[in-house]
Structure 1
């Protein structure tokens, strides 16, 4: 089972111009130690911080048309500042790892993470498209 741990953005993370601006050395050390523990346990698939939404864009779909909208985007608490992708045996194991996630902006700062399970190909009814995805996945390995 794969789960994505998403760090919700804050006004500070959206304003930062580089990963080091405002970076707390203890927080970085805590994050590294946490991700090392995930890797040692064999459950870490990927992890990274995201640049502020001002450097991104969205593609909106409406009426059969696509429109590209450049950032920044509002509602800071709805944006994602980073993620960690893990593969574990159960929802409970994912929850235990999530509970150990360091406070994303330091112990005294407000912050929030959200954890969501990813769909697996086995979750979908067998069909030609799912089989093509299986082939793509096998070729990628």
Structure 2
């Protein structure tokens, strides 16, 4: 099974949500999450606080620079994610299309790298160490990240 991350983006503003029934949002997201759990595809997922509580570490000069949020263009911000275990990209896309999101929202679907992506570097010290780290952390999915 491949792992995919669904990254929820919102191009609207905080004010767009001021008039929403927040309990209805919680219920819709809860039902969506529950459907993925029942299907056995949900590995995890979380919402994120407002960008004003965040920061960006930018590596453009000699030393990293920290900028407090809000940051970036609104279309660059994301406010939550899900990690799924599915057979194909198409299956991940089908789950993304079921998300209870309205106009102004987007979900970016990205495959999470796995061991096959690093076959040419199988003898690399850190590729080997990461396999052990994943076993130690209980996240052994035969994956490596770079």
With the length of structure 1 as denominator, give the TM-score of the two structures.
0.83
* Conserved? CA contact 2:12–2:105, under 8 Å: no
* Conserved? CA contact 1:3–1:115, under 8 Å: yes
Flag structure 1 segments of 5+ consecutive residues without an equivalent.
Answer: none
Q: Deviation of residue 23 (structure 1)?
A: 4.4
Q: Deviation of residue 63 (structure 1)?
A: 3.6
Spell out, residue by residue over 1:61-118, the C-alpha distance to the aligned partner (whole angstroms, 9 max, x if none).
Answer: 1343111111111310111011111111111211221121112xx4xx4322111111
Out of 71, 95, 98, the residue aligned to residue 96 of structure 2 is: 98
Which of structure 1's runs of 4+ aligned residues deviate more than 6 A? Answer: none
CA RMSD of aligned residues (A): 2.3
With the length of structure 2 as denominator, give the TM-score of the two structures.
0.80
Q: Size of the alignment, in residue pairs?
A: 134
Flag structure 2 segments of 5+ consecutive residues without an equivalent.
Answer: 139-146
* Number of the residue aligned with 2:53: 55
Map 1:37-116 onto structure 2 (within 5 A): 37-103=35-101, 106=102, 109-116=103-110
Whole-Å Cα distance in 2 between the matches of residues 32 and 118 of structure 1? 24
Whole-Å Cα distance in 1 between the matches of residues 66 and 79 of structure 2? 21
